[in-house]
Structure 1
């Protein structure tokens, strides 16, 4: 292998809990909720699937079904889909739905998996090119910079910047072209068997990791190093 492509959420990074997300947005807006109400609201938001990178919605409302399917095609669609889901849950002020959306893009809302830097550094030491390929509606580069991982990434290929989302092989082709590598000598690493598995149609190798909380997956990326030797 001459290159490794990584997914973002659930692969290299994990979003904070729904309760921590809600608490941070409320604090930023100067709004207080009693602990029981905070817990109930966080649970309702989780059921709604309102946290990008968090649990998927138990049910997508009919009026959001169309935008939900194409949410990663643009920043506007992504915001509309997720704020639409959060608006299924009553909040103390209507502007808090946008505040929640803004919070999830903050670098400190994300934690890198414990072995992410180690694995990326080892790949760099071996001369392996690294790309990030993500279905997303916003620029995740500041997250990588804030956590010190940007220096290991040679290219970012984000669905909203191309109007193409995984598993469409064209998105993986863009990444391979940006790195100047052949798909047959490229490994895609991700947590979504459907979306990330789309790289196989292009001829890439594919390796899956489990989308677990950071504390529960301390070494899930290390097998990648054995696959590129």
Structure 2
């Protein structure tokens, strides 16, 4: 394989829990909330899908937000509007917390790399395999990689909001292959979303899926990638 493309959230990194997310924002804003209320609100935020990068939400997106939600990764403005929009389904003790929650999820402190991410990226780099990150996202994730010491192993970042297209549109995968100088037929896409990341197959890329699980529950989900690359997928 010439190159491996990785999704970001749920693949290389996992966002903090909804309770940790809410607790951090309340602490920074110095807004008190009883512990039982904090847990309840965190559960409601998670259910409506207000935490970007979390596992799929349980409550359907309100009809009025569906058009925005479907296009949310095409720009920074759409991304913020979509997530703060669903967040406003949950009553919070202060109006400024909706934007504060959105801002928190962009912080490197809100993210943890999967346990085997460094090993896999470092090994690929050592083998001379090009590495790209292809993400549906509305903000610059490069600082997250730098803060966690993984930026040195990534050759190119192709982010939906910077290109105005989102996975599964093949143009995003094509841009990544072009940035890496890689033949799409010798490129492997690794992700957790069968629809979005699976779009790479239409370009001719091989595709491998991982499970979107908490970090502690997926210690070695990325290691099979090394065998796939060695065998030519």
TM-score of the superposed pair, with normalisation by structure 1: 0.99
CA–CA distance in 1 between the matches of 2:31 and 2:151?
34
Partner of 2:28: 28
Could you tell me how far 1:59 is from its partner in structure 2? 1.2
CA–CA distance in 2 between the matches of 1:65 and 1:2?
38
Could you tell me how far 1:56 is from its partner in structure 2? 3.0
CA–CA distance in 2 between the matches of 1:82 and 1:98?
9
CA–CA distance in 2 between the matches of 1:216 and 1:47?
20
Partner of 1:91: 92
Partner of 1:40: 40
Residue ranges of structure 1 left out of the alignment (5+ in a row): none
CA–CA distance in 2 between the matches of 1:202 and 1:55?
26
CA–CA distance in 2 between the matches of 1:135 and 1:44?
24
Please state if 1:70 is matched with 2:71. yes
Partner of 2:171: 170
* C-alpha contact 2:55 2:212 (8 A) present in aligned 1: no
Residue ranges of structure 2 left out of the alignment (5+ in a row): none
Query: 1:1-229, aligned counterparts within 5 Å?
Result: 1-57=1-57, 58-229=59-230
Could you tell me how far 1:54 is from its partner in structure 2? 1.1
Q: Return structure 1 stretches of 4+ with deviation > 6 angstroms.
A: none
* C-alpha contact 2:44 2:90 (8 A) present in aligned 1: yes
Could you tell me how far 1:63 is from its partner in structure 2? 1.5
CA–CA distance in 1 between the matches of 2:26 and 2:77?
23
Range with bigger deviation, 193-202 or 55-64: 55-64
Describe the superposition over 1:20-59 as per-residue Cα deviations: whole angstroms up to 9, x where unpaired.
0000111111111110000110011111110001133411
CA–CA distance in 1 between the matches of 2:60 and 2:187?
36
CA–CA distance in 2 between the matches of 1:95 and 1:38?
17
Aligned residues: 229
Calculate the aligned-residue CA RMSD, in Å: 0.6
CA–CA distance in 1 between the matches of 2:210 and 2:130?
20
Where 2:40 maps in the other structure, the secondary structure is: helix
Range with bigger deviation, 40-49 or 114-123: 40-49
Where 1:130 maps in the other structure, the secondary structure is: strand
Where 2:190 maps in the other structure, the secondary structure is: strand
